[in-house]
Amino acid sequence: MGGLIRVDGLRRVYTSSGVAHTALDGVSLEVERGEFVAIMGHSGSGKSTLLNLIGTLDRPDAGSIEVGGQIVSQLDEAAKARFRRAHIGFVFQSFQLIDNLTVLGNVELPALLLGGVSRRAVRERACCLLARLGIADQGPRYPWELSGGQQQRVAIARALVNRPTVLLADEPTGNLDSASGGEVLGLLSELNGEGQTILMVTHDALAASRASRVVFLHDGRVVGSMPGGDPRRIAQHVTLLH
């Protein structure tokens, strides 16, 4: 085990109509290799901002972010794009699949953009992932032909195709019914059991209970953490953040 993600003194301020809003205010956090960490907090607490910064989709105003020994907060835009393709897998609430690509095409795309392997190898990897996630027969179909749960499985396969250092999931069950959401959380737990490091933003205590550790944000600051496993205790802790 070793620190895979190190966030130190992270600050992010957004300005809208001349008014400054502090989304993160001095956040420090460490995620160990192989951990499954859930980030919880009320709307506006800075959860998604933190995930976007770690995933290099945004740049902090102060502080540093290190992922796998690379200080990503200092990279330029081109270098950040290369880093994301090679090391970060994203799973979003709204799936973010490309409607005019087939399921197989969506899963293959990140690997084709990264390059370095043959198209045949990319196809084999994508097909193996679809089979692993129980949707091997959906490869020729288009995202809009699938259920929400199936679309999220496609999104997870796409996130895994480049064997990411870390999987970032932003409300991965937010658009799913309870049964589909449970299946997706089960898949994430299985992947973590196989060694995949996962950082997940969620407002759902039941989802957070699948994590090995839950970190709580309030008004852009880390205000506590606790082990996963007990959704009632997690929900009670979130209530106390009011």
Q: Residue 110: what pLDDT?
A: 94
Region 152-177: what's the mean pLDDT?
Answer: 94
Instruction: List, for residues 88-147, the tens digit of each pLDDT value.
Output: 999 998 899 999 999 999 999 999 999 888 999 999 999 999 999 999 999 999 999 999
Q: Residue 238: what pLDDT?
A: 82
What is the CATH classification number for the domain harbouring 15? 3.40.50.300
Instruction: List, for residues 80-102, the tens digit of each pLDDT value.
Output: 999 999 999 999 988 999 999 99
The pairing of beta strand 166-170 with beta strand 197-201: parallel
Whether pLDDT at 229 is above 90: no
Q: Residue 211: what pLDDT?
A: 96
Region 56-73: what's the mean pLDDT?
Answer: 94
Output the 3-class SS for the chain.
CCEEEEEEEEEEEEEECCEEEEEEEEEEEEEECCCEEEEECCCCCCHHHHHHHHCCCCCCCEEEEEECCEEHHHCCHHHHHHHHHHHEEEEECCCCCCCCCCHHHHHHHHHHHHCCCCHHHHHHHHHHHHHHCCCHHHCCCCHHHCCHHHHHHHHHHHHHCCCCCEEEEECCCCCCCHHHHHHHHHHHHHHHHCCCEEEEECCCHHHHCCCCEEEEEECCEEEEEEECCCHHHHHHHHHCCC
Q: Residue 145: what pLDDT?
A: 96
Q: What is the mean pLDDT of the chain?
A: 93
Q: Residue 242: what pLDDT?
A: 62
- pLDDT-above-90 percentage for the chain: 84
Total domain count, the chain = 1
The domain in which residue 57 lies consists of 3-239
Q: Residue 1: what pLDDT?
A: 45
